[in-house]
Structure 1
Amino acid sequence: MITTLDTAALDQVVSLKKTERMPVLFLGHGSPMNAIGDNEYRRSWQALGARFGTEIPNPQLILCISAHWLTTGWWLTAMTQPKTIHDFGGFPQELFDQQYPALGDPAAARAMSLMVRQRLSAPLGLDVSEWGLDHGAWSVLKPMFPEADIPVIQLSMDYSHAPEDHYALAKQLKALRDRGVLIVGSGNIVHNLGQMQRGAQGNQAYDWALEFDQTMGGYLQQGNLEALQNFQKLGSLAKMAHPTHEHFLPLLYAAGAVESREPMRFFNTNFQGGSISMRSMIWG
């Protein structure tokens, strides 16, 4: 897997000028209802968004890696107007009525597809019609950037590949941060829907959920980011935390795009339903 990239293609993209290095975010998105509920998670995303344009430069582009776009091969959304996808069921109509009309950036997507390489040096695929912005993306971006005035590209994940392949691909994204690109991983460090307890409070979680969350949090706090890709070596603990691990993979994309000792801050370090870790972090 290639871990460096040729940034020459970026020089041809008008929207991506060299800037101060952008931070990287990993956001535990949890229930889709967090997008519209008045709770601590949505308020934290709103507060974080308010820091852009004041403490932090506004992004020129957002690259989001969501747990909810799994593909064969890796793909980038490359349409001018990505649709808002409501990829869930059983929720109030208000949630289905939500729209996030951010533009895409086809030129930037084409440049990224040439720079970032899959295994065997294949370029990333370009999706011009099928996908858009799923709820892993818009549910966190809408509270952060409610004006939807920053273009958004989603990067899919090939679930057939081992975690180390995702982490290696993510390392190629680092240079984008110097071109005004805000990289956002959206998933959950613990995600077991089958074990959810609807009435559980934020400070309540299963022992196995706490252990896995604290183990990963320890790696993150120590800057031992390489260890994250080996989470499956925790065996039954990892399997309880992630019966399927698509919600963990976005963390590898965020971690791969930062330096091992880069300053990092946790927030939302509690749980939804006892089995969904909302732990989130910002680097840089």
Structure 2
Amino acid sequence: MRQSVPALRLPALFIGHGLASNAVDDNVFTESWSCLGSGIGKPRGVLVISAHWMTAGSIQVTAMERPRTLHGEHNPTLQSFTYPAPGSSELAARVRELLQPEAVEYSSDWGLDEGSWTVLSHFYPAADVPVVQLSLNISEPMAWHFYTAEKLRMLRSEGYLIIGSGNLVHNTVMADYDADNMAYSWALRFQKNIAEAIREGRHEDLLDLTSLGQESGLAVPSPEHYLPLLYVLATRDMQDDALEFITPQCIYGSLSMMSVALWPSANPQAE
């Protein structure tokens, strides 16, 4: 895993976040997140695109000074968990500016959901880095998300870290939560196919998952955990960014924990 503080552009990361319990667990995935955070250092702020914030017909961005910690109803043991990171009106305004002419609404009633705090609690455990979340407008097709996200590329040169938080294979209906290290063959095939498409920069295939095999319907039964990947890949500089796949495991049969990092090759990186 590459580790160092970038001198120029910051990386962009897609993180396979898995279960919310990873916020308090110590495992190979959370250890990798801790290494990433310490290696990158503290950015000016973090923009998170989380699978857990979907809006229909609009784009929203958190704009409050102190975003609250949001909890899912299916995580009763984590209801008391808090991640009190500050927000950033400056970053929210910059996102709004960059995404023009798309209309971006400021949200004062969302906060940081488990797609953010599950990961950031290991990246920056002191919760001392400003965090802003950007919603997924689920009324739009995949291509819209990708080409809209291209406008955010400049943030990486302005001191901001971009994190997409989801899972490349995410089928909770078929998951076997008693099989921590088991992976269905179709899940592994899809993960392999999508990794090859990412490596080769085949954006047209990444925007039409049926081209990646018949497993796509099982791997991505709904788009919300896949879309954050597109926001990261849309900021990729094919000449400058070095690509890294981190923790390429599938667990519970149908949950990919693979993360994808775009490292600016112009910046000093320790192998």
TM-score, normalised on structure 2? 0.89
Alignment gaps of 5+ in structure 2? 1-6, 264-271
In structure 2, what residue type is equivalent to 1:40? V
| Separation in structure 2 between the aligned mates of residue 215 and residue 36 of structure 1, nearest angstrom | 32
Of the three residues 242, 258, 263, the one matched with 1:263 is 242
| Separation in structure 2 between the aligned mates of residue 252 and residue 88 of structure 1, nearest angstrom | 27
Report the 3-state secondary structure (helix = DSSP H, G, I; strand = E; otherwise coil) of the residue aligned with 1:245: coil
Q: Is the 8 A contact 1:86 1:96 kept in 2?
A: yes
| Separation in structure 2 between the aligned mates of residue 38 and residue 108 of structure 1, nearest angstrom | 31
Give the structure 1 partner of residue 188 of structure 2: 210
Give the structure 2 partner of residue 45 of structure 1: 33
Q: Does 1:107 align with 2:103?
A: no
CA shift digits 1:34-55 (9 cap, x unpaired): 11112111111111111133xx
Q: Does 1:143 align with 2:122?
A: yes
Report the 3-state secondary structure (helix = DSSP H, G, I; strand = E; otherwise coil) of the residue aligned with 2:191: helix
Tell me how many residue pairs correspond in the alignment. Answer: 255
| Separation in structure 2 between the aligned mates of residue 200 and residue 163 of structure 1, nearest angstrom | 32
Of the three residues 262, 269, 272, the one matched with 2:251 is 272
In structure 2, what residue type is equivalent to 1:67? A
| Separation in structure 1 between the aligned mates of residue 139 and residue 39 of structure 2, nearest angstrom | 37
The structure in which a higher percent of residues are helix is 1
In structure 2, what residue type is equivalent to 1:155? L
| Separation in structure 2 between the aligned mates of residue 122 and residue 64 of structure 1, nearest angstrom | 18
Give the structure 1 partner of residue 65 of structure 2: 80
Q: Is the 8 A contact 2:48 2:165 kept in 1?
A: yes
Give the structure 1 partner of residue 49 of structure 2: 65
CA apart distance, 1:234: 4.5
CA shift digits 1:178-222 (9 cap, x unpaired): 1101000000000000000122243x3112111111110111222
| Separation in structure 1 between the aligned mates of residue 205 and residue 238 of structure 2, nearest angstrom | 11
- Percent identical pairs in the alignment equals 38
Q: CA RMSD in A?
A: 1.5
CA shift digits 1:206-257 (9 cap, x unpaired): 1211111111011122233443122144474211112111100000001001
Report the 3-state secondary structure (helix = DSSP H, G, I; strand = E; otherwise coil) of the residue aligned with 2:34: helix
| Separation in structure 2 between the aligned mates of residue 96 and residue 205 of structure 1, nearest angstrom | 30
Matched ranges for 1:146-161 at <5 A: 146-161=125-140
Give the structure 2 partner of residue 22 of structure 1: 10
In structure 1, what residue type is equivalent to 2:37? G
In structure 2, what residue type is equivalent to 1:124? V
Give the structure 2 partner of residue 126 of structure 1: 106
Give the structure 1 partner of residue 3 of structure 2: none
Report the 3-state secondary structure (helix = DSSP H, G, I; strand = E; otherwise coil) of the residue aligned with 2:97: helix
Report the 3-state secondary structure (helix = DSSP H, G, I; strand = E; otherwise coil) of the residue aligned with 1:133: coil
